[in-house]
Amino acid sequence: MKNPLSCFVTGTDTEIGKTLVSGALLRIFSERGFRAAAMKPVAAGAEWRDGQWRNDDVELLGAHATVDLPISLTCPYLLRTAVAPHIAARLEDIVIEMSQIKACYEQICAQSDVVVVEGVGGFRVPLNNEFDTADLAGQLALPVVLVVGMRLGCINQTLVTAEAIAARGLQCVGWVANCNTAPMPFLTENIEALATRMSAPLLGVIPHLDEPNPHNAMRHLKIPASWAKQRAHSSSLPG
């Protein structure tokens, strides 16, 4: 089972705003009347609070979803140490299994109209010795939204990541320019350079926000109302 509006949110690097954009997408889908669910299959870095292990990104996504689901489904691999997930899993003697992630995803799909799945780190972060986050996006067969951290080197990182997405046979349905760091010199010129080279549309430019939260970020995303209709229609076509 796959909900035709669902997407996989990845980034050009870690700490560049995937959770912010994922939360904003959840709010947009929710305001359009969809039952919007969030999933972050793997999260590395947790704190013991209120009698359980908690991850800030997982909790933020859950707060902006309209489908209330247990963390055991939305984040089947909540790892304690804030390092690369394959290392964190090894430290806890855990093997991240694709089959477990897919089973959780199927259960979430059954209870929602759209699932926003957030990756971990960049597009090709190892999850175990056999597969990485690119394989995860491929196994879930989801179109990709690419979050670009606007800073020095972002043009190369973005184009290389876009090529990697295409090489996996996945569709990049859009990219977001996120200005989450200090103001970038020649910001407009860098965005224009990317826009002329990316085949996927620019979904929005999120400025440096005094309060970086999904509610404020969604105002800067320009996802056309027809996008959902077009994707839903194309996903229903034979073949």
Burial 147-157, CB ≥16 within 10 A → b, else e: bbbbbeebbeb
- Catalytic (active site) residue 40: yes
The backbone region for 164, taken as left when phi is positive above 0, alpha when psi lies in -120 to 50, beta otherwise, is: alpha
> How many residues in the chain?
239
Cβ neighbors of 184 (< 8 A, separation 6 or more) are 150, 151, 152, 154, 190
Distance CA 126, CA 140 (A): 16
From 40, 102, 222, 229, active-site residue = 40
Q: Catalytic residue positions?
A: 40
